[in-house]
């Protein structure tokens, strides 16, 4: 299997009906929308995809659906669970249905020790042949992916890289020295150009659900040696407009402004109110 290439990957939404069921038909449309925009691939059932709100069987069903209807997209299975047995089961299922890689967050309920986190990741890396991306999002997991943890896992050949969603430039700076042994993607789109300039791979992006073309254009401009600062500024403005509203409901409503049907979030998250929808439309319309 060819390794994942540098580029823009979308942390794909999981669309729900008003009753809370997964809207499979709309999920397939979202995949096609992303492929047409030129992203390299998608993460299924990650944070933006409300992965922790999905059952194990629902996540596997989405992995399979994405793999079957992907077109040219690479499929990364999001694994966000506190249960090591569930993580191993999801990894096996992702391989069985044809996913290309795993993105694995640290378990997020207990305050694990360094040794406990190493044991968790070593067990998973031992159990799968798929490439693994470590997922740093400490504002949600309370468990940062430290440089020491990465060092302890470097002997695993299937350790592919890191997604840093901390939003902290200093955190990004601690990961970039691992390039080229590891690929480094940012989740904070405002750091895309900084990541690329430091040798990073690009972005695994929630914003790309709505503005994939903008991120792809910035990545391509950088790779071709063209001026990309202005394109990064457009990303920043679009991010500011959407970040004023709760995610991922903001992305789901914003997609209606791009001609796609409205999908819902699953409790404990909630959809935007009518007032929030009107305010979001005013904020985002200039960027469409």
Catalytic residues: 47, 109, 135, 163
Name the token pair of 185: 């993607």
User: Which neighbouring-strand residues pair with 163?
Assistant: 135, 185
Q: What is the b/e burial string over 45-70, where b = at least 16 CB atoms within 10 angstroms of the residue's CB?
A: bbbbbbbbbbeeebbbbbbbbbbebb
Cα(192)–Cα(257) distance, integer angstroms: 24
Sign of CA dihedral 132, 136, 137, 142: positive
User: Which neighbouring-strand residues pair with 202?
Assistant: 7, 185
Q: Provide the CB-side half-sphere exposure for 21 (13 A, CA).
A: 5
Q: Find, among 178, 166, 165, 173, the residue nearest to 206 by Cα.
A: 165
* Start-to-end Cα distance in the chain: 37
Cα(283)–Cα(126) distance, integer angstroms: 47
* CA 100 to mean position of chain CA atoms: 14
Q: Find, among 2, 1, 72, 90, the residue nearest to 31 by Cα.
A: 72
């Amino acid at each position: 299997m060819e390794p994942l290439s540098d580029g823009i990957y979308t942390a794909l939404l999981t669309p729900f009906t008003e009753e809370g069921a997964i809207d499979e038909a709309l999920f397939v449309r979202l995949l096609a929308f992303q492929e047409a925009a030129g992203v390299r691939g998608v993460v299924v059932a990650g944070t933006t995809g409300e992965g922790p709100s999905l059952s194990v069987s629902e996540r596997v069903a989405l992995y399979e659906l994405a793999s079957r209807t992907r077109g040219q997209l690479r499929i990364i299975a999001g694994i966000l669970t506190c249960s090591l047995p569930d993580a191993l089961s999801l990894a096996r299922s992702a391989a069985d249905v044809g996913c290309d890689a795993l993105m694995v967050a640290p378990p997020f309920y207990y305050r694990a020790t360094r040794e406990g986190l190493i044991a968790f990741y070593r067990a998973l890396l031992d159990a799968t042949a798929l490439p693994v991306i470590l997922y740093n999002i400490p504002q949600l997991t309370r468990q940062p992916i430290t440089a020491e943890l990465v060092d302890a896992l470097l002997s695993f050949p299937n350790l592919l890289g890191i997604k840093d969603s901390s939003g902290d430039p200093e955190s990004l700076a601690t990961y970039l020295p691992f390039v080229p042994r590891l690929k480094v993607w940012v989740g904070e789109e405002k750091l895309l150009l900084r990541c690329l300039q430091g040798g990073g791979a690009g972005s695994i992006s929630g914003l790309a659900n709505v503005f994939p073309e903008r991120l792809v254009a910035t990545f391509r401009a950088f790779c071709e040696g063209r001026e990309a600062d202005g394109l990064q500024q457009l990303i920043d403005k679009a991010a500011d407009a959407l970040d004023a509203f709760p995610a991922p409901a903001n992305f789901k409503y914003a997609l209606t402004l791009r001609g796609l049907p409205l999908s819902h979030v699953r409790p404990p998250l909630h959809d935007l109110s009518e007032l929030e929808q009107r305010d979001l439309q005013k904020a985002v319309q200039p960027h469409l």
